[in-house]
Every structure is written in structure tokens, then in C-alpha cells.
Amino acid sequence: MRAHAWSLELSPFERPAHAEHGGAAYEALGLDFARLDRVGEIVDADVLDAWYDPSPTAVSAVQEHLAWLLRTSPPTQAEGLRDTIADVRGLPRECVLVGGGTSSLAYMALPRIVRPGDRPLLLDPMYGEYAHWFESVEGVRCSRYLAPEASGFRPDLDAYLRELALADVGVLVNPNSPTGVAVDLDFLRAALDQLPRFGLLIVDETYSDFAGDGVSVERWVEEEERLVVLKSLSKFWALSGLRVGYVAAHASVIAKLEAYNPPWSVGLVAQLAAVEALRDGGYYAAMAQQTRALREKLAEDLAALPGLRVLPSVTNFLMLLLDAAAPSPAEVVARCRAYGVYLRDCTSLGRRDDARWLRTAVKDAPRNARIVEALRAALG
């Protein structure tokens, strides 16, 4: 990528090999899975996996055919899964490309749709893999719109559009991680209108199904060539361990990406489970309703703790702001681990020296109670 005066090229020595993520609970469980007997002891709230199991029909189908699924090669390009996604999500088949999760799809797609010299604008704070790809892989420093902390990180449309007017590529996670804030369809339409004729808006909608109607723009791609939507089946669909996702984009964009999508990128267990899960919308609607109730109760309990501000969220997680008198985010995370509770220090997801941010996933009621008690002890 060509460097710009406002997006300075980074030295290779400044580039970390990988973005920072959660998953620290494997320190207790073992990266070789030697201590899976401890799963019930751990609250892995530093990752945003569903608290509930996948669709019972998906679990039953996998269990019934497991040995065959493990030894058998899957359909090469996940054709049946692609058709199911198109049918369930109301998309033309030619606007869908399936792959092994949104991160893998992003690394495959971004080099083919972001042009050399394009100027990227990211939201701050935001899921870190996109900044990592631009800055650490491509070596270009991104411009960032700093969502105001005082308003709970809700972007101001006019301010965002002023910065987007200077960019070629806008990248949003909507609803956003770690903030839990969603921008509405009017915001996204205005962003598309602000971009230059050959600009690009990339929207990661991993958490959109938790937010209900009025958030997703995936159906816009049939008519809009400047929009690319990344969709994960990990979090809402409770399939994180299987790594399944898809790109929704205009047919001309998908046609360009097809040749770069490797064969067998989605395993057979994952394909079957995803097909069955997508067909069981009623189950997931019930889980979304329960998640909202669990989130509101957890937010209420956490808000009662001294030194902690809890931000409103439409997702399966909450962002927590520590006041100046509280221990640092790193210290709070360390203290909570002593209670088997793993939270995310998410200060690395932004570029602010004064950030004092934590994030917790919403879990079931007993685990949420453990999160509250661990934080109470850590802040005491």
C-alpha cells in the first residue's frame, strides 16, 4: 500500500505479528486441552462466545453423524451452506461467499478490494483485527474517528462524516465491539453517500442479530457495489469453535473474490452445524430474548459497584469504564483471574492514553453472579 502524508508508513519493527485478543482462559485449561476438566470452574468472559449452546437440531445432527463427518471431505466451496445463507438471509446466492470465519475472510478479501493508496478510516475504539491488517500487515497508519467517551462512545454523525470525507475506505463494526453501540441505517446510508464514487464501506456485523431489526445492511449489497458486509456465525449462532462466516457483497465483488477463496475452507462438521443452525431461527430468537434479560440484570448489578460505569449495550457484552481512583484495567483483570473470572482489558482497542476500559461477555445467571463478585473484590 502506498503511504500518505496523513497515514505514515510504519517500520516493520513497529508491527506486531498478531492483534491482541481474549482467550486467556486457556492458560488454565491448557493450550493442549489437558485441563478441560476445569471448564466448569472458569468464566471466560474475555471472549464473546455465546453463553448458550447451538441449536439442538444442529447438535443432534452432528452427534448422529460425527464419525462420518470427521473422516469425510466436505463440499469444496460449501455450496449447500452458501445456498442456505442466501435463502435464510434473503440474499441472492451470487452475493454470498462462505469461509472459515470473518477474520480469515477479511484477510482473503481486503487485499483484493482495498486499492493501493486507499486512505482508511477506522472507528476508535473498535475490534483490533482491522487496524492490525492495515497497519501491521500493510504498513499504513490508519486515520481514526474517536468516538466520544462522554456520550458512551456513540458516534456523532456530522463529525464522523467530516473525517470520512477525507478517506477512501471506512471500516465499522456494527454493533461495535467493545462499546456495544450500534449506529442506525440512516447513519450507514449517510456514510455511503459521503464516500467518493469509488470508495468502499466495510461493515462487520458479527453482533447485529443481537440488536434486532434496523441495524443490518447486508441486503443493500445487491444494489450497492461500494458496500462489503462481513458476517460471522460464531457469536449469535453459538458456533465459535467451528469458525464459519461469510461475505455479503455485490455480485461483481463476490465474482472477483471467488478465485481467491481456497477449497475446503469450511470443514464438514461446521457446514452441517451451520446449515441446521440457520434453519432454526425460532431457537435463536428465544436465546436473543434471554440474552437481553441477562444483560440488563448484569448491567444493573455491575452499576452498583463503586468506581465502575457500565455503558448501555445492544449486544452480548458490556463495556465497563473504571474511574480514576480505581485500580488500572490490567490490575483489575489480574485480580479477577484469581477468582477464575477472565475479563478483557480493552485499552488496546483504541489509541487514547487515558483509556480505562474493560469488557465482559454476558453469561448465564450463575456465571454473571461470579463476574459481579470478582469485580466487587477486585475493586474493593
CA–CA gap between residue 367 and residue 369 (Å, rounded): 5
CA–CA gap between residue 90 and residue 359 (Å, rounded): 33
Give the count of alpha carbons within 13 A of 125, CB side only. 25
Same domain, 179 and 328: no
Residue 7 belongs to a domain: no
Residue 5 belongs to a domain: no
Residue 320 belongs to a domain: yes
**Beta bridge pairs of residue 322:** 308
Q: Among 155, 164, 161, which residue's Cα sits nearest to residue 182? A: 155
pLDDT per residue over 286-295, tens digit each?
999 999 999 9
Q: Among 236, 228, 317, which residue's Cα sits nearest to residue 278? A: 236
For the ranges 17-26, 45-54, 87-96, 156-165, which has the lowest average pLDDT?
A: 17-26
Kindly state the average pLDDT of the residues 337-343: 97
pTM: 0.93
Same domain, 141 and 263: yes
Same domain, 33 and 109: no
> What pLDDT is attached to residue 7?
42
Quote the domain boundaries for residue 344. Answer: 18-47+282-379
pLDDT per residue over 56-73, tens digit each?
999 999 999 999 999 999
> What pLDDT is attached to residue 196?
83
Last residue of a domain, which of 279, 307, 330? 279
Same domain, 69 and 211: yes
Same domain, 93 and 183: yes
**Mapping DSSP to helix (H, G, I), strand (E, B) and coil, where does residue 158 land?**
helix
Residue 128 belongs to a domain: yes
Question: Which sign, positive or negative, has the C-alpha torsion 275, 278, 279, 283?
Answer: positive
Quick check: 168 and 196 in contact, CB under 8 A? yes
The CATH number assigned to the domain holding 73 equals: 3.40.640.10
Same domain, 160 and 230: yes
Helix and strand element counts for the chain (H, E): 14, 13
Same domain, 142 and 267: yes
Same domain, 60 and 131: yes
Residue 75 belongs to a domain: yes
> What pLDDT is attached to residue 354?
87
Quick check: 239 and 287 in contact, CB under 8 A? no
Same domain, 242 and 121: yes
Kindly state the average pLDDT of the residues 306-314: 96
- Report the number of distinct structural domains present in the chain: 2
Quick check: 154 and 147 in contact, CB under 8 A? yes
282 sits in which H/E element: helix 281-303
* Torsion angles phi and psi, residue 158, rounded to 5: -65, -45
Residue 3 belongs to a domain: no
Cβ contacts of residue 358 below 8 Å, gap of 6+? 319, 320, 321, 322, 329, 332, 333, 343, 344, 345, 346
* Torsion angles phi and psi, residue 255, rounded to 5: -60, -35
Same domain, 236 and 332: no
pLDDT per residue over 262-272, tens digit each?
999 999 999 99
Q: Among 336, 328, 378, 325, which residue's Cα sits nearest to residue 361? A: 336
Quick check: 307 and 322 in contact, CB under 8 A? yes
Q: What is the mean pLDDT of the chain?
A: 93
278 sits in which H/E element: helix 268-278
CA–CA gap between residue 361 and residue 51 (Å, rounded): 9
Same domain, 169 and 35: no
> What pLDDT is attached to residue 25?
87
Last residue of a domain, which of 279, 297, 329? 279
Residue 160 belongs to a domain: yes
CA distances to 77, 154, 291, 347 from 353, rounded to whole Å, are: 45, 19, 33, 9
Quick check: 310 and 318 in contact, CB under 8 A? yes
* 132 DSSP assignment: I
pLDDT per residue over 94-147, tens digit each?
999 999 999 999 999 999 999 888 999 999 999 999 999 999 888 888 999 999
Q: Which three cell numbers stand for residue 139?
A: 504498513
Q: Which three cell numbers stand for residue 273?
A: 452445524
First and final C-alpha spacing in the chain: 49
pLDDT per residue over 156-209, tens digit each?
999 999 999 999 999 999 999 999 999 999 999 999 999 988 899 999 999 999
- Helix 281-303 to helix 365-379 angle (10° resolution) is 20
> What pLDDT is attached to residue 10?
52
Same domain, 303 and 270: no
The CATH number assigned to the domain holding 288 equals: 3.90.1150.10
Residue 1 belongs to a domain: no
Last residue of a domain, which of 252, 279, 306? 279
